[in-house]
Structure 1
Amino acid sequence: MDLAPADDGIYRMDVASGDYRLILSFAQIKAHQPTPSMDKAIHWITHLEANPSGSRFLFIHRWTERVEDETCFLHRLYTVNGDGTDLHMLECSDHPLPQLADDFDPNAVGTFDYEKSEYQISHPMWKSDNEVIVWGPHDVAIHYHLYDDTTGKVDVIGPGILIENGQMTYSSDGRWILSNTYPDADTNERVLFLFDTKTGARHDLGSFYTPPDLGKHNRCDLHPRWSHGNNTVCIDSVHEGARQMYLVDVSAITTEQ
Structure 2
Amino acid sequence: MDKAIHWVSHIEVNPSSSRILFLHRWTERVSDETCFLHRLITANPDGSDLRLLECSDHPLPQLASDFDPASVGTFAYEKSEYQISHPLWKDDQHIIVWGPHAEEIHYHLYQDRPEGVVEVIGRDILTENGHMSFSPQNSRWMISDTYPDPESSIRDLFLFDTRGDVRIPLGGFYTSPDLGKENRCDLHPRWKRDGSQVCIDSIHDGERRLYTIDVSKITQGNGP
TM-score, with length taken from structure 2: 0.97
Match of 2:141 in 1: 176
SS in 2 for 1:107: helix
Q: 2:197 aligns with which of 232, 248, 253?
A: 232
Letter in 1 for 2:98: W
Matched residue of 1:49: which SS? Answer: strand
How far apart are the structure 2 equivalents of 1:128 and 1:251? 22
Counterpart position of 2:169 = 204
Q: For residues 243 and 249 of structure 1, what CA distance do their matches in structure 2 show?
A: 20
Pairs within 5 Å for 1:89-238: 89-152=52-115, 153-172=117-136, 173-238=138-203
1:70 to 30, 33, 45: 33
Q: Percent identity?
A: 65
The one-letter code matched in structure 2 to 1:187 is: S
Query: SS where residue 128 of structure 1 aligns?
Result: coil
**2:47 paired residue number:** 84
Give the Cα–Cα distance (whole angstroms) in 2 for the partners of residues 215 and 102 of structure 1: 25
- Structure 1: stretches of 5+ with no match in the other structure: 1-37
**Counterpart secondary structure, 1:44:** strand
Cα separation, 1, equivalents of 2:199 and 2:44: 31
Structure 2 residue runs of 5 or longer lacking an equivalent are none
Q: Distance in 2 between matches of 1:242 and 1:76?
A: 36
Q: C-alpha separation between the residues in 2 aligned to 1:125 and 1:74?
A: 19
- 2:213 is aligned, of 235, 248, 251, to 248
| Matches of 1:104 and 1:39, distance apart in 2 | 21
1:165 deviates by 0.3
Q: Which amino acid aligns with 2:134?
A: Y
- CA shift for structure 1 position 162: 0.6
Write out per-residue CA displacement over residues 24-44 of structure 1, whole angstroms, 9 at most, x where no aligned residue.
xxxxxxxxxxxxxx1211111
Query: Which structure would you say has the larger Rg?
Result: 1
In the alignment, the residues of structure 1 paired with residue 7 and residue 220 of structure 2 have an alpha-carbon distance, to the nearest angstrom, of 42
Q: Specify which structure has the bigger relative contact order, considering alpha-carbon pairs within 8 angstroms and separated by 6 or more residues.
A: 2
**Structure 1 segments (4+ residues) deviating >3 Å:** none
Q: Which residue of 2 aligns with 1:56?
A: 19
Give 1:229 shift. 1.3
SS in 1 for 2:70: helix
How many residues were matched structurally?
A: 220
TM-score (norm. length: structure 1):
0.85
SS in 1 for 2:66: coil
Post-superposition offset of 1:160: 0.7
| Deviation string, structure 1 residues 29-78 (Cα, Å, up to 9, x no partner) | xxxxxxxxx12111111000100011110000000000001110000000
